[in-house]
């Protein structure tokens, strides 16, 4: 579908013709069939299912020895630290969410110190990851924070897996990585669902973040399976149900965001041929000069204070409609 139109007002060969460049965005083909009437509640329900599927997959984690539990504990603490550093600012926007966000972190620390069950701890970690995602935002900053967090966690776990390390620790880390990284990827989608888009450009950036994350996750899982292959009891085998459920979530989110994009303004980009100003352009393209319209125009074009009253020739301007 078209996401952006770029117009050049320079005449071509003096023939009175101008160029219009249209940007289309291609979303990867789906691994899971979707219906056109999918809604956010169904996707959120599937993310709930992913939590349950992960719990089943995590039953294979072996932390029966003190050394294995110590390694597991360090991995979890690293993940929690990354999650806290990445989305704490999102949680802080709602007092009740911030309080619960901090309580879960304290609970995880206490559970680790008490040597609690690995499955229960990972369940709490996934709760922590998801908690701020459903805070409604009018920008895609939350989606970007989740995408950065997912990338950091994938790297911190999967980049250091080696067949030369203790095999139990490596398989445990790969399984932990599968659990938290699949949830991180799904939660980018969840964050995108709870974003109020005003432009197709913003929706497109969310689509990019979601699909980049699933590609990274799948690549890391595949590499882990290759690095930790071997005898049946000494290999990491990616969980089929985790992969299938995550694929369903991503496919449905892609479908829903694309459907929403048809009701959102596309972007027209042009370059000013002479000096102008924000009020003139708002009236010309939006037929309004109220405060909300001016603020939208200034924000979407990142105008400097000096440009509000005089936009120079040669300035790229974006219009949504």
Q: What pLDDT shows up at residue 229?
A: 86
- Residue 275 half-sphere exposure toward CB, CA atoms < 13 A: 6
Residue 26 has pLDDT above 70, yes or no: no
267's CB contacts (< 8 A; 6+ apart) are: 3, 4, 5, 199, 200, 201, 318, 319, 320
Euclidean distance between CA atoms 203 and 201, whole angstroms: 5
Phi, psi of 228 (to 5 degrees): -115, 45
Closest CA to 135 of 186, 182, 73, 87: 87
Residue 158 in contact with residue 224, Cβ under 8 Å? Answer: yes
Residue 25 has pLDDT above 60, yes or no: no
Q: What pLDDT shows up at residue 10?
A: 47
Categorize the per-residue pLDDT at 29 as very low, low, confident or very high, splitting at 50, 70 and 90: low
Give the tens place of pLDDT for each residue, 185-216.
999 999 999 998 888 888 999 999 999 999 99
Residue 265 has pLDDT above 90, yes or no: no
Residue 169 in contact with residue 68, Cβ under 8 Å? Answer: yes
3-state secondary structure of 7: strand
Say if strands 267-271 and 316-320 run parallel, antiparallel, or are unpaired: antiparallel
Reported residue count of the chain is: 321
First-to-final CA distance of the chain: 15
Categorize the per-residue pLDDT at 13 as very low, low, confident or very high, splitting at 50, 70 and 90: very low
Q: Cβ atoms within 10 A of the Cβ of 221, count?
A: 23
Residue with the bigger pLDDT between 146 and 5: it is 146
3-state secondary structure of 177: helix
Among 20-34, 104-118, 133-147, 260-274, the minimum mean pLDDT is found in 20-34
Strand order in the sheet with 316-320: 19-24, 2-8, 267-271, 316-320
In this structure, what DSSP letter does residue 34 have? Answer: -
Residue 9 has pLDDT above 60, yes or no: no
Average pLDDT over residues 294-306: 91
Q: What pLDDT shows up at residue 237?
A: 94
Q: What pLDDT shows up at residue 199?
A: 83
- What's the maximum distance between 2 C-alpha atoms anywhere in the chain? 80
Average pLDDT over residues 35-60: 91
What percent of the chain lies above the pLDDT cut of 90?
A: 70
Among 9-23, 111-125, 134-148, 230-244, the minimum mean pLDDT is found in 9-23
Q: What pLDDT shows up at residue 18?
A: 46
34's CB contacts (< 8 A; 6+ apart) are: 251, 252, 254, 255
Q: Which helix (H) or strand (E) holds 154?
A: helix 141-158
Q: What pLDDT shows up at residue 230?
A: 78
Quickly list DSSP for 215-236.
HHHHHHHHHHHHHT-SSGGG--
Average pLDDT over residues 168-190: 96
Categorize the per-residue pLDDT at 269 as very low, low, confident or very high, splitting at 50, 70 and 90: confident
Residue with the bigger pLDDT between 90 and 139: it is 90
Q: What pLDDT shows up at residue 11?
A: 42
Q: What pLDDT shows up at residue 28?
A: 55
Euclidean distance between CA atoms 209 and 224, whole angstroms: 22
Residue 304 has pLDDT above 60, yes or no: yes
Q: What pLDDT shows up at residue 12?
A: 45
Residue 167 in contact with residue 228, Cβ under 8 Å? Answer: yes
Among 24-28, 78-82, 308-312, the minimum mean pLDDT is found in 24-28
Mean pLDDT of the chain: 88
Residue with the bigger pLDDT between 270 and 214: it is 214
Euclidean distance between CA atoms 8 and 12, whole angstroms: 10
Can you say how many angstroms the Cα of residue 55 is from the centroid of all Cα atoms in its chain?
22
* Domain edges within the chain: 2-26+270-320, 40-261
Q: What pLDDT shows up at residue 14?
A: 45
């Amino acid at each position: 579908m078209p996401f952006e139109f770029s117009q050049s007002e320079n005449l071509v060969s003096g023939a009175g013709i101008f160029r219009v460049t249209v940007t289309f965005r291609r979303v990867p083909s789906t691994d899971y069939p979707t219906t056109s009437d999918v809604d956010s509640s169904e996707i959120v329900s599937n993310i709930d299912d992913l939590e349950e599927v992960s719990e089943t997959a995590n039953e294979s984690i072996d932390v029966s020895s003190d050394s294995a539990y110590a390694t597991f504990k360090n991995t979890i603490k690293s993940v929690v630290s990354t999650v806290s550093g990445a989305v704490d600012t999102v949680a802080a926007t709602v007092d009740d969410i911030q309080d619960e966000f901090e309580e879960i972190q304290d609970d995880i620390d206490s559970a680790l110190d008490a040597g609690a069950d690995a499955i229960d701890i990972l369940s709490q970690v996934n709760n922590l990851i998801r908690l701020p995602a459903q805070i409604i935002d009018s920008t895609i900053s939350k989606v970007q924070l989740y995408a950065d967090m997912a990338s950091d966690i994938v790297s911190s776990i999967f980049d250091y897996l080696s067949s030369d390390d203790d095999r139990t620790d490596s398989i445990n880390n790969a399984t932990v990585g599968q659990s938290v990284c699949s949830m991180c990827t799904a939660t980018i989608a969840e964050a995108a669902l709870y974003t109020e888009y005003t432009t197709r450009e913003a929706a497109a950036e969310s689509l990019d973040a979601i699909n980049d994350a699933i590609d990274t996750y799948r690549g890391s899982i595949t590499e882990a399976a290759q690095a930790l292959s071997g005898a049946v009891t000494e290999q990491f085998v990616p969980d089929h149900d985790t992969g299938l459920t995550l694929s369903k979530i991503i496919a449905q989110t892609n479908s829903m965001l694309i459907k929403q994009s048809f009701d959102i303004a596309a972007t027209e980009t042009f370059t000013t041929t002479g000096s102008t100003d924000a009020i003139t352009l708002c009236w010309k393209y939006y037929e309004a000069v109220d405060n909300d319209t001016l603020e939208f125009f200034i924000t979407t074009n990142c105008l400097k204070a000096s440009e509000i009253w005089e936009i120079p020739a040669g300035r790229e301007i974006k219009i949504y409609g």
